[in-house]
Amino acid sequence: MYQLALRSTAQRLYPNYANVDWSGNEGYDKNNVKTYFSTMGCRTANGWDVNGFEQLKDGRGNICPVTIILPTLAMEAKEYTIKNATGEDLEGQTVAKFMSILDQKLHEAKDMLIERFEWICSQSPESAKFMWENGTMAGYDGKDIRSALKHGTLAVGLLGMAETLQILIGEDQTCDNGLELAKKICQLYKDRCDEFKHKYSLNFGVYFTPAENLCFTAMQRFKAKYGDIKNVSDKEFFTNSVHVPVWREVTPFEKIDIESQLDGYSSAGCIAYVELDSTVKNNLGALETIVNYAMDHDIPYFAVNVPNDTCMECGYCDEIGDTCPECGSHNIRRLRRVTGYLTGDYTTAFNLGKQQEVELRVKHNRVIH
């Protein structure tokens, strides 16, 4: 079955790989199908339920998310430090100010999520009669939908870790200093979500946001306020969550080494990707090595992107340039995964930011140091 899965991934990008042995699942019953580690959509996951269902996964979901745009906070901290700095350690003061602002925003995010949760809970069961009466959501008592919704997740997300690190210290998580600061930022997220979870008896969790339109719209607003900044806003999108920037020349193993040190902070969903070229279809052993490496390095959820183009005239399928090498047609369907979703033509289906992100992607198996 695993070999068939690898063949499918190499040809059609799916399936992805959920790591049942992930350290975050320690203590879970691996033999109980209702508690298997699984994800929804492109990455959403449920952690331990504080309201009685504990490790149950079936019948629970993400009730509502909110995402903090980290680069904007980093610029606010930097501007504050420039105006109010004392002494020589400007970088240290900027980081400290950033952490203070972030802490405040985490509390604001908590308040926003609770308000949204209460509003959702105010709905009548009649608004989704089939769902409530057929047990789609676990825990429904037949009267109040809060009885089921309280088992779901309130997700606190983040966007643009790589750009944030560039603003604060001039390097990203591919460098040791950047990786250590990224861990510090993620730890604050985790600490606050754990605190909120126990204080309010609601399942707050750290969410590594799959920003779709947001990665573009947030960047446009950032540019309007701060202009073009090298390695920060000199493109049309913010890097999703804690991902290594798509243009970084790293091998699949180096990317996994870095992101595996950050993904463990997330309890509400994350994913790690590597980009491979289409030759992997002829080398499933190499693909297996990469997937096994990700699992062995405690990646919770792993996926592989492989270009998949199809000539709509003759049916030739491979990575295709401007024209089909078999019949010369320009009528090419270009299948790519963008923020977890497959699209037949990313150049028309997605915003300019996501289009540019796809075009900047490095094929990690081609990187040689």
Share of the chain above pLDDT 70, in %: 98
**Per-residue pLDDT at 338 exceeds 70:** yes
Q: Contacts by 187-196 with C-beta closer than 8 Å and gap 24+?
A: 187/265, 188/99, 188/102, 188/103, 188/106, 189/106, 189/156, 189/158, 189/265, 190/265, 190/267, 192/103, 192/106, 192/107, 192/110, 192/156, 193/156, 193/267, 196/110
The mean pLDDT of 228-255, rounded to a whole number, is: 97
CA 75, 76, 81, 84 torsion-angle sign: positive
What pTM did the predictor assign?
0.93
Give yes or no for residue 344 having a pLDDT over 90.
no
Report the alpha-carbon distance of residue 41 to residue 325 in Å, rounded.
35
The tally of CA atoms less than 13 A away on the side-chain side of residue 275 is 22
pLDDT for residue 335: 80
State the angle between helix axes of 176-200 and 252-263 in degrees (0 to 180), rounded to the nearest 10: 30
pLDDT tens digits for 261-294? Answer: 999 999 999 999 999 998 999 999 999 999 999 9
Contact of 205 with 284, CB cutoff 8 Å: no
SS (H, E, C) 155-221: EEEEECHHHHHHHHHCCCCCCHHHHHHHHHHHHHHHHHHHHHHHHHCCEEEEECCCCCCHHHHHHHH
C-alpha of 182 from chain center = 15
290 to 199, 280, 299, 300: CA distances (angstroms): 41, 11, 12, 14
Whether the per-residue pLDDT at 181 is higher than 80: the answer is yes
Read off the pLDDT of residues 286-316 as tens digits, 9 standing for 90 and up: 999 999 999 999 999 999 999 888 899 999 9
The predicted-structure confidence for 80-139, as pLDDT tens digits, reads as follows: 999 998 878 899 999 999 999 999 999 999 999 999 999 999 999 999 888 888 888 999
Per-residue pLDDT tens over the stretch 20-60 = 889 988 877 778 877 777 787 777 888 889 999 988 888 89
Is residue 148 within 8 Å of residue 54, measured between CB atoms? no
User: Is the Cα torsion angle 295, 296, 298, 299 positive or negative in sign?
Assistant: negative
> Six-digit token pair at 44?
């959403």
Between CA 240 and CA 340 the distance in angstroms is 11
Confidence class for position 192, pLDDT limits 50, 70, 90: very high
| pLDDT bucket at 177, cuts 50 / 70 / 90 | very high
What pLDDT does residue 369 have?
A: 66
User: For position 308, what pLDDT does the model report?
Assistant: 84
pLDDT of residue 285: 96
* Domain-wise residue ranges, the chain: 2-366
- Which CATH architecture best describes the domain 2-366? Alpha-Beta Barrel (3.20)
Q: What pLDDT score does 215 carry? A: 95
C-alpha torsion sign, points 91, 214, 57, 261: negative
Residue 174 in tokens: 């591919």
Is 205's pLDDT higher than 90? Answer: yes
Whether the CA torsion 44, 49, 51, 53 is positive or negative: it is positive
User: What value does the mean pLDDT take over residues 351-358?
Assistant: 87
Per DSSP, the residues of 26-50 read TTS-TT-GGG----BTTTB----BT
What average pLDDT is seen over the chain?
A: 92
- The mean-pLDDT minimum among 4-13, 184-193, 302-311, 348-357 falls in 348-357
DSSP 68-88: EEHHHHHHHHHHHHHHH--SS
pLDDT at 1: 96
- The pLDDT of residue 193: 98
Tokens of 96: 């400290």
Of 109, 105, 18, the closest CA to residue 64 belongs to: 109
Count the neighbouring beta carbons within 10 Å of the beta carbon of residue 243: 22
pLDDT (average), residues 242-258:
97
Measure CA 180 to chain center.
19
Three-state DSSP at 154 gives strand
